Copies of this chain bind each other. A is one copy, B any other.
Amino acid sequence: MMRDVAIIGIGITKFGELWDKSFRNLIAEAGSKALFDSGISGSELDALYVGSMSTGRFVGQEHVGALVADWSGFAHMHIPAMRVESACASGGLAVRQGYFSVASGMNDIVVVGGVEKMTDVVGDEATDTLATGLDQEWEAFFGATFPGLYAMIATRHMHDYGTTREQLAKVAVKNHANGALNPYAQFKRAIPLEKILCSPMTAYPLGMLDCSPVSDGAAAVVLCAADKAKDYTDKPVKIIGTGQASDTLSLHGRDNICTFESTVYAGKNAYEQAKLTPEDIDVAEVHDCFTIAEILAIEDLGFVKKGEGGKAIDKKITTLDGKIPINPSGGLKAKGHPVGATGVAQIAEIVMQLRGEAGERQVKDAKIGLTHNVGAVGASCVVHILEAI
């Protein structure tokens, strides 16, 4: 009943502390880059989707769909515009909504954006606002924070599987090495293992350099019915699988905190739709909001067995020239993590990889890629699988 959907254009802003760019300017920049890249004109667009996590708190602005439609010059087309929110998975979920709207035949061409402007707030407000993605009554109210909860997962993973502090740190070393090659990255520099290991402790065993930063940025993609994609681009990239799943909002509600079942189920659904297995994936962007999160991700997505994520880092199978390169963009760790933008930026990176346009960070012979976007501490997850056609 569903038809195939392709990505025909991408756009991304530089990520970072962008004090000279406003929320609306960021998303308009990413959107216009994506439209330009696709070669379509705005009048061909049927709808607009935006992923954002907490714009009411970060920039005092809700009604973000209408804002983006207006600020991008589409208001007078009266284009249907919608915001999707699922904490840090907002961007990936927005892509999924855009995908379904085209797959169903409702729309032919849509643009999907993701954006967050996190550095305009002061003091602890960014941390407090991120904690609105946790369970407010049972976690945030009692002082739990993102680093604190991921630190609990990390210590349990170390206990159960012998994962080491050094293995965690090596995730950051790899991602900073990749980020150093990415012109859009917030931290465009390699950082040696010793520096990661001696960074100020945030929540044991996670040091400051195990944590993704507070960032501003935006990304956008243009989706089109696959049978029309070649009218616009020589290098369309097809979305061949999508999966989404939820889990308890609070970490203490889970049977096992060393696995995100939302990732397992979202991945399973995406693999089934694509008729592929983890072995078929050539490159992946996964949700490394903390170093431990990347280890969980590569296990839960089936790239390595449960418990072997730490060893996989030692064996360098996830580096740019490894068996399964993970986070060539630098990941959330080095590229930056403007929460609502992240899921869309992951898609943009994989499109660049599959087109062979990723420059110095290009993964060789990448034909099939995967994106993995997590909301908060695994209460929601969206996975996409893309293929060059």
Contact = CB atoms under 8 A, between A and B. Distances in A.
A86 B63 contact: yes
**Chain A interface category by residue count:** 35 or more
Contact of A82 (B69, B76, B93, B249): B93
A135 interface: yes
A21 to B, nearest CB: 13
A75 B247 contact: yes
B247 A135 contact: no
A57 interface: yes
Contact of A104 (B2, B129, B136): B2
Contact of A70 (B84, B101, B104, B246): B246
Contacts of A61: 132, 136
A24 B137 contact: yes
Nearest to A130: B62
Contacts of A93: 82
Contacts of A1: 1, 104-105
A71 to B, nearest CB: 8
Contacts of A69: 246
Contacts of A328: none
A253 B244 CA distance: 38
Contacts of A87: 62-63, 66
Contacts of A22: 137
A82 to B, nearest CB: 6
Interface string A52-96: 011111011111111101110011101111111111000001000
A348 to B, nearest CB: 21
Contact of A53 (B62, B67, B135, B137): B62
B132 A56 contact: yes
Interface string A109-153: 000000000000000000001001111110010000000000000
A206 interface: no
Contact of A74 (B133, B134, B246): B246
A202 interface: no
A245 B78 CA distance: 5
Contacts of A140: 60
B80 A65 contact: no
A262 interface: yes
Interface stretch (A28-36, A164-172, A193-201, A375-383): A375-383
Given A63-B376, A83-B86, A105 B70 contact: no
Contacts of A246: 65-66, 69-70, 74-75, 78-81
Given A78-B261, A261-B78, A375 B106 contact: no
A97 interface: yes
A289 interface: no
Contacts of A54: 56, 62
A375 B82 CA distance: 11
A103 interface: yes
Contacts of A134: 63
A100 interface: yes
A248 interface: yes
Given A56-B56, A56-B57, 5 more contacts: A53-B62, A70-B247, A75-B253, A82-B86, A83-B85
7 contacts: A63-B375, A64-B85, A66-B380, A70-B250, A78-B261, A79-B246, A85-B85
